[in-house]
Amino acid sequence: MPAVALEQAVADIIARHLSDLVRGHQICIIPDLQFDDAVGTKARDLTQRLRKGAPGLLAIATAGCQLAKGRIALELNAAELANELGLKANQIDPSALQIQAPFALRRGKDRSRRS
């Protein structure tokens, strides 16, 4: 799989994960509705930039990435994500930093497939 395609696939997975967290108010350890609005706005902006392929944003995933048959496991970098969201790293729920998603590599013309 070309590096650019892999990077965009990972960015899309992270964007989808962040969108789900925002909808469920699950980014912060202690939910605060007033605080959640500001964090949610920044998270939505981050997801848009990830989906558009903004360079440098994959630093939030540098804490770890493992590919297994049909799956990808990502560990988001708490400090980088906190910086993007205007938070302190210890304010982020640790479970928000873990992503498990379907992922498959294919051979041929369209080499990537995300489920």
**Average pLDDT rounded to a whole number, residues 50-74:** 85
CA distances from 12 to 34, 46, 81, 87 (A): 28, 11, 15, 22
d(CA 81, CA 5): 22
Give CA angle at 6 (15, 110), nearest 5°: 110
How would residue 50 be classed by pLDDT, with cut points 50, 70 and 90?
Answer: very high
| pLDDT for the residue numbered 30 | 85
Q: What is the pTM of this model?
A: 0.83
What tens digit of pLDDT does each residue of 2-34 get?
Answer: 777 888 889 999 999 999 998 888 899 887 666
**Is the pLDDT score of 89 beyond 90?**
yes
**Is the pLDDT score of 64 beyond 90?**
no
Could you state, in order of their start, the residue ranges of all structural domains in the chain? Answer: 3-104
